[in-house]
Amino acid sequence: MAHSDNGFFGQFGGKYVAEVMRRPLDELESAFKDAMADKAFLEELATIQRDYIGRETPLLFAKTATEILGGAQIYIKLEGLANTGAHKINNSIGQCLLAKIMGKKRIIAETGAGQHGVATAAACAKLGLDCTVYMGEVDVRRQQPNVAAMEMYGAKVHAVTSGSRTLKDAVNEAMRDWAANIDTTHYVLGSAVGPAPFPDIVREFQSVIGKEVKKQAAERKLDVAAMIACCGGGSNSIGFFAPFIDEKSPRLIAVEAGGIGPNPGENASRMTGNASKDGIMQGYKSRFLLDDDGQALSTRSISAGLDYCGIGPQLAALGKNGRIEFTSALDSEALEAVKFFAKNEGVLFALESAHAGAAAIKLAPTLPKDKAIIVNMSGRGDKDIFITCPVFRPAEWKQFLVSELDRLNDGKDIHDAEIMGRE
């Protein structure tokens, strides 16, 4: 099940969309098929992956962590070293290049926490495309640093005021825009979710991660027992796992957000949780966290990227048939993993990626020393300082924010900046 069969992965997937969405999706599907067989397209993609994204990303032997845990060797795939700080740029660049060969000059995207918005805004800046990002009004308020970054890259951020004013409403607005502007516009969906052909497209553009890992592991003659990735919608995990899906080994382990506990509303565990059901939402059939009326449950995670009620259909199917094992990590375990790898390896995991790190910390001591575990660090943790600092250094952080506010109210630095801006 390395790719879909006509848009389906077993019983999951499909194209459950309004009639007006059929044409854009069908056009996208055939353009994508052509592009993947077009040598010039693939060469352009490889060049920009190398020179702009910074591929290939390193595979780091976590020597101290391995010694402390005393079992299997831990290796970390450093996707956080990709330009813009996470794996999301792999998909944004791929889809923006695809839009260009389809003759579309305008890009739209949805974003929740803002990471996909930032990656897409950057890709559009690099490729000279017009960019509009739909973002719930609540998220715009919560995620100002990412909004500022998108605007610096020249994107327009459209605050969505309908519904709960969060990610799912942003997706709905983006779909509406796409249907109305299909001739000029491509919709860059940010994870391995949504109606076909998006799950196939996103996996293909993210599979560069897994292809590099396969080569790097072979060069070093690693005996890989397990590969571990965190799983929100599922784009970094499915891209990391892609070249191994049709093989019997290694074990493929996806880690969901365990949040603060097992009860409905306390986590985002679609495969391991007890509120999970088959359902159809936002154009695809998969596993979702739903209430008894079939409405999306609210989810909870310290990591914004894993805080989503649905999971990509291919992951759901591979979980069901047993090729991918699912587990979860609590918020507290993810925070501990951030500290552990920062202190012992000098790498700062994003909170999302730290869920995979936490699973590796548990698994490594149970395996022999001649085996390897590869963890995908999907992103780096610089973006998380507003979440980690209040936890790790609450008093100092509070004092810092107060003094920053004083500085802004005082207005002196802003005034200086304005004067410099005029020069």
Ligand X SMILES: *Cc1c(COP(=O)(O)O)cnc(C)c1O
- Which residues inside 391-410 make contact with ligand X, applying CB under 6 A? none
**Residue written as token pair 């940010």:** 190
DSSP state letter for 231: -
CB of 418 to ligand X, least distance (A): 34
Q: What is the DSSP string of 19-31?
A: GGGHHHHHHHHHH
Comparing CB distances to ligand X, the nearer of 222 and 310 is 310
7 is an interface residue for ligand X by CB under 6 A: no
- Cα separations in angstroms, 81 against 76, 162, 348: 12, 36, 11
DSSP state letter for 380: B
CB of 402 to ligand X, least distance (A): 30
Q: Of the ranges 1-9, 143-151, 345-353, 384-392, which one interacts with ligand X (CB under 6 A)?
A: 345-353
Residue with CB nearest ligand X?
379
Comparing CB distances to ligand X, the nearer of 57 and 353 is 353
DSSP state letter for 329: E
Q: What is the DSSP string of 43-93?
A: HHHHHHIIIII-PSPPEEE-HHHHHHHTSSEEEEEEGGGSTTSBTHHHHHH
- Cα separations in angstroms, 197 against 33, 162, 203: 10, 27, 10
Q: Return the residue of 90, 236, 286, 299 that touches ligand X, per CB under 6 A.
A: 236
CB of 3 to ligand X, least distance (A): 17
CB of 225 to ligand X, least distance (A): 22
Residue 140 structure tokens? 């715009």
Q: Return the residue of 231, 348, 354, 374 that touches ligand X, per CB under 6 A.
A: 231
**Residue written as token pair 């052909």:** 197
Residue 342 structure tokens? 């920062």
Active-site residues, by number, are: 88, 110, 378
CB of 173 to ligand X, least distance (A): 19
Q: Of the ranges 171-179, 234-242, 361-369, 399-407, which one interacts with ligand X (CB under 6 A)?
A: 234-242
CB of 345 to ligand X, least distance (A): 17
CB of 271 to ligand X, least distance (A): 12
- Which residues inside 102-121 make contact with ligand X, applying CB under 6 A? 115
Comparing CB distances to ligand X, the nearer of 178 and 205 is 205
124 is an interface residue for ligand X by CB under 6 A: no
Comparing CB distances to ligand X, the nearer of 74 and 268 is 268
Going by C-beta distance under 8 Å and a sequence separation of 6 or more, which residues neighbour residue 319? 254, 271, 287, 325, 326
- Which residues inside 242-301 make contact with ligand X, applying CB under 6 A? none
- Each residue 346-365 as x (binds ligand X by CB under 6 A) or -, in order, gives ----x-xx------------
233 is an interface residue for ligand X by CB under 6 A: yes
234 is an interface residue for ligand X by CB under 6 A: yes
CB of 378 to ligand X, least distance (A): 4
Helices and strands (H, E) in the chain, number of each type: 16, 14
Q: Return the residue of 111, 146, 191, 327 that touches ligand X, per CB under 6 A.
A: 191
CB-CB contact of 312 with 238 (8 Å): yes
209 is an interface residue for ligand X by CB under 6 A: no
Comparing CB distances to ligand X, the nearer of 179 and 335 is 335
Comparing CB distances to ligand X, the nearer of 182 and 193 is 193
Going by C-beta distance under 8 Å and a sequence separation of 6 or more, which residues neighbour residue 400? none
Q: Return the residue of 230, 290, 316, 334 that touches ligand X, per CB under 6 A.
A: 230
Gap between the Cα atoms of 53 and 325, Å rounded: 30
Gap between the Cα atoms of 35 and 146, Å rounded: 31
Comparing CB distances to ligand X, the nearer of 193 and 364 is 193
Strand order of the sheet with strand 284-289? Answer: 8-9, 12-13, 284-289, 276-281
Gap between the Cα atoms of 54 and 89, Å rounded: 11
Comparing CB distances to ligand X, the nearer of 58 and 71 is 58
Gap between the Cα atoms of 413 and 313, Å rounded: 50
> How many positions of this chain bind ligand X (CB under 6 A)?
19
Measure the CA dihedral 91/96/102/103, to 10°.
180
The residues that touch ligand X, with contacts defined as CB under 6 A, are 86, 88, 115, 191, 230-237, 305-306, 350, 352-353, 378-379
